[in-house]
Structure 1
Amino acid sequence: MGKHVIPCIILFSFLIPTITSFATSWAYPFVVWDGSIYVVSDEYITQIHKEIGEVTMYSDMEQYSGNFSNVYEKGTKYYSIEGISTDKAIAIQENNGKFKKAIREAAYTYEEISAAPTIGLMILSLIILTSIYFVKNRINK
Structure 2
Amino acid sequence: MSVLSALFLACTLFIGTVKASWAYMFVVNNGSIYVISEEHVDPKQIGSKIGKVTSYSDQEGTYSGNFSNRYPKGTEYFEIIGLERKDAIAVKEKEGVYIKAAYEGEYAGDRNGWSDFYPYVVFGALIVFITMYFLKKRMIR
Does the 8 Å CA contact 2:25/2:35 hold for their aligned counterparts? yes
Identity %: 39
Give the match for residue 25 of structure 2: 29
Does residue 87 of structure 2 align to residue 94 of structure 1? no
Q: What RMSD, in angstroms, separates the aligned Cα atoms of the two structures?
A: 3.1
TM-score by length of 1: 0.75
When residues 86 and 6 of structure 1 are mapped into structure 2, their CA distance, relative to the original with a 3 A threshold, is: same
Q: Deviations over 1:12-53 (max 9, x none)?
A: 431441xx3432321111000010110001100111011110
Does the 8 Å CA contact 1:78/1:91 hold for their aligned counterparts? yes
Where does the alignment leave 5 or more consecutive residues of structure 2 unmatched? none
Alignment match of 2:59 (pick from 52, 58, 61) = 61
TM-score by length of 2: 0.75
Where does the alignment leave 5 or more consecutive residues of structure 1 unmatched? none
Give the match for residue 38 of structure 2: 42
Q: Deviations over 1:48-68 (max 9, x none)?
A: 011110000001114421001
Aligned length: 131
- The 1-side partners of 2:94 and 2:4 are apart by 55
- The 1-side partners of 2:64 and 2:51 are apart by 14
When residues 97 and 22 of structure 1 are mapped into structure 2, their CA distance, relative to the original with a 3 A threshold, is: farther
